[in-house]
A and B are shown apart, each in its own frame.
Chain A
């Protein structure tokens, strides 16, 4: 397929997914029980007062109208205003995006730093004790809930050893050292949990490489197994791993939301939880929409990263490719 056509098609898929997601988010948040006007006015407000406030907030309009006006706003960069304090949703999101972004970035990098070497060793030594140990540890790691693992780390490194702060956040611009210190435990928590899942994928991707003919060729020219895997396995394994990592991004975001509440980080997750509690639907919709946008954007990028990793992808349609035919 021609490259330009492929990019156009991928962009179309991106827009359609975004539209579908916006409809779903709108319907789901509106299906939630509870009413922001009731929350604002308190439980002893008269039905008339509640109805009046609903009209003021535009909540009495038919749902399709509400949806279209919300969607129209997003298209011009207006995610709406909070019902509770009238602030634009985007202004509320901005400072929190940075917190979550750092957490997701370090969590993902950390999980790769753990899972890549561990998964490689687990593949190479899959018939002896290092392989068994790593697989068992990964299995155990997957069974540990994020919040419990986080609390355990706090108990050891904050309460016990006093090495790192137990909670809170300091922006990078204010104090880089404090910023880093506050992010260590949350990132490690997220990384460990994600790594446990990732190790299994890394292991099977590398086991696949071990069974490939080119791996045997690499050994026959004088590479030791480990170096053959690094030299010829990494890039080939990356082709299948990139998909997994792209898919895992959404689970990293979910994990980040839990981790934020364990460490009381002022990120998107804690904002989302508060907004849900207060029935501030515009903020909920805006936040979820932003998260969806981020995930879709990154998975589109992941799709294009194949072009860089796999030379066969860039070539315009040699369908007689021996590897697929063989």
Chain B
């Protein structure tokens, strides 16, 4: 049995049932890392939110999402809340606004522990400080006592990483976790993510629009376009033998080292001009 099994997932929104995701199917084994790549609006985030059961009320979901054999689609809110933060967790794109501005970050991390483990405050505090150290924050004691506005973007994103990993979940979903960070901090956070995922043995669904970033963290990649999966395989297969023209465009644009000086850089449109755009 796979850890995560998504089959024929279709998500539409509103009365007019605008489809954001159409017939998406994939599997994720325990400890495996799957990158989901595609431009904005291709349905990456909607797929992730469907797995977490966090889609807005006006979403219509059909198909099936099974986490360790348990169906997620149509499950009650309280049953899902019990899984979130414990068995599966999520790291969001925007570290600047993802933390409660009125609460010390240590308490916010401790909350994840208490919600699922019922840990007492003294021991929770030790675990929180240790976890903040594990994600690479220097002076974790001080960070735990800080409010979000007193931390930098990179520090906040690592706090969120600590929240997502403190209960050793089986599945961590990362939705463009480094997009909002500058390049040097991005490399640092990716490195720590790789470390803690390995240490926890957690599987990861890693969403990005950046093929280079995905190839750094993941072994498997799935390419989404206009709500559908157009190509899937290992990172190596994708780079060497992409079949879909859109994927070939993505690969070409990520290999800037192959560009000849003085020549125009390649664009995705050179390889694939979508019918609807």
Q: Which residues of A contact B (CB under 8 A)?
A: 127, 212-214, 216-225, 231-232, 235-236, 239, 309-312, 315, 318, 321-323, 325-326
Contact = CB atoms under 8 A, between A and B. Distances in A.
Q: Which of B78, B94, B102 gathers the greatest number of chain A CB atoms within 10 Å?
A: B102
B111 interface: yes
Interface string B63-106: 00000000000000110011111100110101011111111000
A225 B56 CA distance: 11
A322 B153 contact: yes
B58 interface: yes
Interface in B114-158: 115-116, 147-150, 153, 156
Contacts, number: 96
B256 to A, nearest CB: 29
12 contacts: A213-B97, A214-B100, A217-B160, A219-B81, A221-B115, A222-B86, A222-B116, A223-B81, A235-B103, A311-B147, A312-B147, A322-B97
A318 B97 contact: no
B52 to A, nearest CB: 6
A322 B149 contact: yes
Contact of A311 (B82, B85, B102): B102
Interface string B40-63: 000000000000101001100000
Nearest to B113: A221
Contact of A216 (B54, B96, B102): B54
Contacts of B156: 322
B100 A309 contact: no
B149 A220 contact: no
Contacts of B81: 219, 222-224
A312 B77 contact: no
B160 A323 contact: no
B254 to A, nearest CB: 28
Interface residues of B, number: 36
Interface of B: 52, 54, 57-58, 77-78, 81-86, 89-90, 92, 94, 96-103, 111-112, 115-116, 147-150, 153, 156, 160, 163
Nearest to B151: A322
Contacts of A309: 102
A113 to B, nearest CB: 22
A214 B58 contact: no
B159 to A, nearest CB: 10
A311 B97 contact: no
B177 to A, nearest CB: 13
B101 A222 contact: no
Given A222-B85, A231-B111, A236-B101, 19 more contacts: A214-B98, A214-B99, A217-B92, A217-B99, A219-B84, A220-B84, A220-B90, A221-B115, A222-B81, A224-B77, A224-B81, A232-B102, A236-B102, A239-B102, A309-B102, A322-B153, A323-B96, A323-B101, A326-B97
B182 to A, nearest CB: 13
B120 to A, nearest CB: 18
B112 A221 contact: yes
Interface pairs A-B: 5 shortest CB-CB: A222-B85, A221-B85, A213-B97, A322-B96, A326-B96
